[in-house]
Amino acid sequence: MDKSARIVIVGAGAFGLGTALRLKEEGYTSVTVLDRSMPPVPDGSSNDISRIIRFDYGDAVYARIAKEAFDLWKTPEFSDAFYQTPCLWVCQDGTPEQPVQPRAQEYSAKTKRVLTEMGQPWHAVRSVEEAKVLWPKFTGKLATPGFDGFYNTSAGWADAGKAIGRLASRCVAAGVSFITGPSGQVEEFEKNQDGTIKAVRTANGNRVDGDQFIVATGAWTSSLVPAWNSMLAAGQVVGYLKLTPEEVAELKDIPIYFNFSTGFFCFPPHDGTGYLKVAIHGFGYTQQSAKAGVSAPGASAVASRANFIPEDGMKRLLAGMKDIFPNLVSRGFERVGICWYNDTPTGDFIFDFHPEHKNLFIATGGSGHAFKFLPVIGKYIVGSFQQSLPHDLLKKWKFPTQFKEAFQGDAFAGDGSRGGPERRELTNNERSTFGVALRASARQSKI
């Protein structure tokens, strides 16, 4: 690869920034990142008060790379945004009121097997009573009926917004150029007759030429490039419950709690904001765009995530809260939001050149589990860009064309780690309410 080539990266999230920094570290001289906002991008999936950092995976490849990243989270470049704490993984049986993912037990067993094969310890938790001996601050019934669990002390969480801000600063110091606002909001590609990309065009008509283009736009990717059923923007619900300073101190030593069966998870309190953050790692919601013909997150310029989630999502969050902290349920959430994943059919990343555009590289498909790889993600994206990685990794992250004719509901089975009911489309009423909340957020950005 010519290191003097003009490389244009679209997207300033974890994938885009990690790629930009790695390219500069490897001697590439012209690297420009475009986005509608300076990072951390307010409504991007790489930005929030917390993201789980762990290497507990049912896939040996991701487990190995996540362990590599975990070790780097403890180094000076990343440690100021990282908080080590145990992670408790649980499964349960389903009930008519609480449908669960039937593959949860299978995925949990695979994860423990992978950890054992790696020589990494994990600790069984065989009952609710045993869990409460370890963490007496959990006052609810936990994952019942059918409780089964394990925990790993080599885990933690990262303040995602802080980590992305630090990474962006390192990119600037390394000589990465940034174009943001309407001049950086890419809306289309200008193509040559042979299908190669000549330039990008932005919301205000700005035109940016390049030799190589890297699209790292997360859930917005399928709105920009032909995706062929290889990716799907799916919204996941998040809630933020405000604690008093005394409650923050009281709950500071709880583990991350993750229910494979329902998808519900909870972080320890965030000291800076006083929030107890909970969310669902499920199959989520889609919002089909008439213009693009694909599911898309919505507004293009916002100050933060819209303060809206569907009613059934709220019920799932409150049910999860009731399982661990029933005394806090009546307080409700100070704010909520939808976090948009870019899902792939198998949950694998896509790090490959687009089949129709030989100088358009796609770095996407975080599928709700990518942020933990922040310290190493640039290494693996650039390795894929240069086609220098081992064949098994290049094959794993190849742009999938086999789902081109597949129906979305059948194709997007995931990796087995999702919990709860099936994915569904937002109703017309929900779309309308979500749109109002998005516009309110956009207005707030102008104040």
What CATH number is attached to the domain comprising 433? 3.30.9.10
Q: Report the percent of the chain where pLDDT is more than 70.
A: 96
**269 and 334, same domain (yes or no):** yes
**273 and 173, same domain (yes or no):** no
The total of other beta-carbon atoms located within 10 Å of residue 240's CB is 20
**pLDDT higher at 12 or 439:** 12
- The domain total for the chain is 2
Give the dihedral sign, CA 329/144/98/135: positive
Question: Per-residue pLDDT averaged across 80-95, rounded?
Answer: 95
Q: How confident is the model at residue 21 (pLDDT cuts 50, 70, 90)?
A: very high
Least confident interval from 23-27, 367-371, 414-418? 414-418
pLDDT of residue 289: 82
Least confident interval from 41-55, 312-326, 401-415? 401-415
pLDDT of residue 300: 59
Q: How far apart are CA 85 and CA 157, in angstroms?
A: 7
Q: Could you tell me how far CA 142 lies from the centroid of its own chain?
A: 25
**173 and 304, same domain (yes or no):** no
pLDDT of residue 184: 96
**8 and 140, same domain (yes or no):** no
Of 223, 359, 405, give the one whose Cα is nearest residue 298. 223
Are the C-beta atoms of 34 and 9 separated by less than 8 Å?
yes
**241 and 139, same domain (yes or no):** yes
**426 and 366, same domain (yes or no):** no
Q: How far apart are CA 66 and CA 345, in angstroms?
A: 21
Q: How far apart are CA 195 and CA 216, in angstroms?
A: 19
Give the dihedral sign, CA 77/79/80/82: positive
Residue 258 DSSP SS3: strand
**178 and 114, same domain (yes or no):** no
Q: How confident is the model at residue 446 (pLDDT cuts 50, 70, 90)?
A: low
Q: How far apart are CA 108 and CA 206, in angstroms?
A: 49
Say if residue 291's pLDDT is above 60: yes
Supply φ then ψ for residue 264, to 5 degrees. -70, 135
pLDDT of residue 146: 95
pLDDT (tens digit per residue) in 239-251: 999 999 999 999 9
**321 and 430, same domain (yes or no):** yes
**332 and 263, same domain (yes or no):** yes
Q: What is the CATH number of the domain that holds 204?
A: 3.50.50.60
Question: Per-residue pLDDT averaged across 6-31, rounded?
Answer: 98
**376 and 278, same domain (yes or no):** no
Q: Name the DSSP letter for residue 391.
A: H
Question: Per-residue pLDDT averaged across 362-382, rounded?
Answer: 98
Alpha helices in 41-103 (DSSP H): 60-73
Task: List residues bridging with 179 in a β-sheet.
Answer: 34
Supply φ then ψ for residue 410, to 5 degrees. -85, -35
Say if residue 304's pLDDT is above 90: no
**171 token code pair:** 């990119």
Q: Report the percent of the chain where pLDDT is more than 90.
A: 87
pLDDT of residue 1: 81
**72 and 171, same domain (yes or no):** yes
Distance between first and last Cα of the chain: 45
Structural domain including 100 reads 86-154+233-342+417-447
**369 and 411, same domain (yes or no):** yes
pLDDT of residue 216: 98
pLDDT of residue 242: 98
Say if residue 337's pLDDT is above 90: yes
Supply φ then ψ for residue 119, to 5 degrees. 80, 20
Of 384, 372, 39, 342, give the one whose Cα is nearest residue 217. 342
